Amino acid sequence: MTADQSVLTHDAPHPHAFTRGEVGWLPHLAPLPEEELTERHYDGLVDAARAKNDYFRLLARDPEILKARTLVDKDIFYNVADGLPRAERELAATAASRRNGCVFCASVHSRFAAHHGKRVEDVDRLLDEGVEADLGERWNAVVAASVALTDTPSAFGEAEIARLRAAGLDDLEIADVIHGTAFFNWANRLMLSIGRPVAPA
Amino acid sequence: MTHDIVDQIAGVTPELDALRRRRPVTREQLQASFDALFRPVSESHASQAERELIAAFATRLAGSSDATGTFYADRALAADASRAAIVLAEASDAAVEGPFGAYTERGLQGESTEGERYAPSDAATEALGDRLAAALAHTHLLVFRPREASAADISRLLDAGWSADGVITLSQLVSFLAFQQRVITGLRVLAAAGLASTAQTDSEEEAA
């Protein structure tokens, strides 16, 4: 077996628990070497700067799905001209990551939720206490919807929709909760399986 | 114009179509993701039949009545009827509740939960081959207990004949399906609960 086809192991410490700290990430397989990237790989990476990142250079082994993944990710989270505020999209992402157990994803997106929502204590409560934490009814409704849609088989039903509507969300905002949650069920599985988290320095 | 798979599986209505078109890039790139995985540039690291069979297994794990699962089951049966029948029977037997699993993080071990893990039977492995059998075990891991995934699981895929590129494609396939299936489930529930009509058409016009 060549080096390209063997598993990488690392001694770096695991995180202790969920945290807003800067959790690192190490790949289980060799990312493509930067000097071997072709135009097809850069097209998949979308932003050339992502060639510096191990996770994206590992995903560049299949450039076409990486490209579509990246573009759908950016639209779901950054297209905020209308619909759900960024903070609550990040909250849905954090809740899905908390439920699935992705400490890395939860660290990144809890920082975004805390920053955009200016609600650091509520975000920390979600990380520390888990998805049952009381964050006030509107955030509780978003977290509950994210958890129900994350579970297999799905527990997402009319009760979750009714609770989101009662909290003031319209159809587009509810669709944004659905997409943000669903996307992190994609991201969590990749981050958890093709590499592992590293404790903040 | 590409036929939209989410619209097809969700049973799109004019109201749901209008809602989805308010996020045109998401709609388009979700479909582009499906195309990248199911109309691949190259099959050299994961064949078309492997993709169809793994997709049928992954989505059927959400339950036999799941619309996305039915869509991929039909595709797999069309691609490779004999192996699809085995894969679907394995999925029905292996469908449990998730997410569950043990945490590696010491401070989270009090939250570790147990559930039934899956390994294909010897008979299934014999019928499906080592590569596909290893892929199904990995798929079950990713669907139900992603927090338990480790480097050893990647080693098992390499030992069964998957290349590094193939592992990435397999991981993307199963993870994408977790996304697509939840978008469809979520939008179906939202539509069933009643969408405010944002389209110009009113109910009288539709009835006409």
A55-88 pLDDT, tens per residue? 999 999 999 999 999 999 999 999 999 999 999 9
pLDDT of A160: 98
Which residues of A fall within a CB distance of 8 Å from B168?
Answer: 29, 58-59, 61-62, 194
Are residues B186 and A4, on separate chains, in Cβ contact within 8 Å? Answer: no
- Cβ burial of B202 (10 Å; 0-12, 13-18, 19+) is exposed
pLDDT tens by residue, B113-169: 999 999 999 999 999 999 999 999 999 999 999 999 999 999 999 999 999 999 999
Does any CB of chain A come closer than 8 Å to the CB of residue B78? no
Q: Tell me the three state secondary structure of residue B135.
A: helix
The neighbour count for residue B125, using CB atoms within 10 Å, is 17
CA distance linking residue B168 with residue B166, whole number of Å: 5
Helix (H) or strand (E) holding A26: strand A24-27
Q: Which residues of A touch B190 (CB under 8 A)?
A: 161, 171, 174-175, 178
Chain A with chain B: Cβ pairs closer than 8 A? 214
Q: How far is A117 from chain B (nearest CA, A)?
A: 23
What is the arithmetic mean of pLDDT over B77-101? 98
Which pLDDT does position A4 carry in this prediction?
73
B206, pLDDT greater than 50: no
Residue of B nearest to A75 (CA): B26
Among partner residues A71, A151, A156, which is closest to B25 by beta-carbon distance?
A71
Residues in chain A where the model's pLDDT stays below 50? 1
Does B85 have pLDDT greater than 70? Answer: yes
Asked whether the bond before B99 is cis by omega within 30 degrees of 0, the reply is yes
Q: What is the ipTM of this complex?
A: 0.98
The stretches of B129-193 forming alpha helices (DSSP H) are 130-144, 151-159, 164-193
Give the global pTM.
Answer: 0.96
| Confidence band for B197, pLDDT divided at 50, 70 and 90 | low
Within 10 A of B97 (CB to CB), how many other CB atoms are there?
Answer: 13
What's the pLDDT band for B203 if we cut at 50, 70, 90?
very low
Interface probe for B, chosen from A98, A128, A185 (most Cβ of B below 10 Å), is A185
Q: Is A16 on the interface with B (CB under 8 A)?
A: yes
